[in-house]
Amino acid sequence: MTSLGWGGVGGKSLIGGSDDDSTTATPPQAQQKQDAQPETPSWATPPVPAPTPSGKATKGKGKGKQGQQRPKGDAPPVVPVASQTVDGVEPGPSQRQLNTRLDDVARREAAVRQREEHIKELEDRLKEGGIQVKPKNWPKCKPILYHDIYAEIPTPNQPVCKAGYYCWMISVSAYIMNFLTVSIQFFMGQGTLACFIFAALAAVTGIFCSWWTVYQSLYAALKTNGGSFAYGKYFIHKTISILWALWTFIAPPIGSLACFVAGLFVMIDQFSVGGSKGAVGGTLSIINMVLWGLVLLLASYEFIWTFSIWKKGGGLQDLEDQQRNASTAAMVFQNDTVSSAAKRLFGGAPRDDGIKF
């Protein structure tokens, strides 16, 4: 049976074959339908990945031609893109971070300038009101106080103030040495725990009290011109300091806590023990005695020097004036009206007790 193709196009003649085994050509209507399929919209088309350096393209997930892999020979050439430069410097993440840090530093500098201007304005207001702002300059390692002998102490009184300052520094060394001596003796078995604790308390309390009471009272007294109250406070504090230095130097064996100061009698006890421990404890006690002896001598010299300054500065005249004022005030109690009122209220008067002013 001879079969003709569609539209008279030549076909094959099959003999003894069935219709299922025959090869049929694609009808023109079907070919037109395949050509008339709608194109995929741009928003539904997956992006094509950039070509790899080897010229291979990765497979896309979309359908159609875009999901097929390119042949190796058909890979498009890679065209280098010129990077944008600013003044020959390529901007990158490091450059942006540097700019951010510079902006942060500039913002902090502006804040610091504003604070300094505000503090300066407050200081100017205080100066206008008669209040002087003194910068902290002592100690130099960590200023917490204002201390300037040349600026605050009159020139004739500056030497004795320096002597008091040196005496305070030597006393600080003596307090520390006493604590170290007692501590070493304690760890060598030559002392008790109570002696160690009291030596630590004596060192901490003595250093601060020697500054705030003894030296500061001298510093304030030397600013005045023979003021009896300021000098009187200094004389009281300095007398207590001298007595303490004498006690520490001798270390009399009074009570069970006499070992918290390594003085003369403690030194004798240490050498009487014998051996290396006794020798070490006795030697440290001698060093401690030398320091406290220097404190005692310099403190006594400073006391006499300060008393002479107070006397020459009109201290005795000021004291006489204060006694005269006290006598004038005491005359009030000798008034008959006041005495009678005191008798009615309190049952007696100072004149009745034999007190004379």
Among candidate residues 315, 168, 325, 150, the one with its CA nearest the CA of residue 231: 315
Q: Would you state the pLDDT for residue 22?
A: 43
Q: Would you state the pLDDT for residue 6?
A: 44
Q: Would you state the pLDDT for residue 136?
A: 87
Q: In a 3-state reduction of DSSP, which class is residue 13?
A: strand
Please give the backbone phi and psi of residue 114, each rounded to the nearest 5 degrees, phi first: -65, -40
Q: Would you state the pLDDT for residue 256?
A: 67
- Contact in structure between 248 and 178 (CB atoms under 8 Å): yes
Q: Would you state the pLDDT for residue 7?
A: 43
Q: Would you state the pLDDT for residue 334?
A: 59
C-alpha span between 301 and 299 (Å, rounded)? 5
Q: Would you state the pLDDT for residue 93?
A: 55
Burial of 172 (0-12, 13-18, 19+ CB in 10 A): middle
Q: In a 3-state reduction of DSSP, which class is residue 131?
A: coil
Among candidate residues 339, 199, 205, the one with its CA nearest the CA of residue 266: 199
C-alpha span between 236 and 242 (Å, rounded)? 10
Q: Would you state the pLDDT for residue 335?
A: 65
Cis peptide before 38 (omega within 30 of 0): no
Q: Would you state the pLDDT for residue 61?
A: 45
Tokens describing residue 121: 């304005």
DSSP 61: S
Task: Average pLDDT across each block of 10 residues of the chain; the chain has 357 residues. List them in order.
Answer: 44 44 48 53 57 47 46 51 51 75 90 88 77 83 92 92 96 97 93 92 96 95 85 95 96 81 93 91 95 96 92 71 64 64 66 46
Q: Would you state the pLDDT for residue 239?
A: 97
Q: Would you state the pLDDT for residue 27?
A: 52
What ranges in 89-227 are assigned the alpha helix state H?
93-128, 149-152, 158-187, 193-209, 216-223
Burial of 142 (0-12, 13-18, 19+ CB in 10 A): exposed
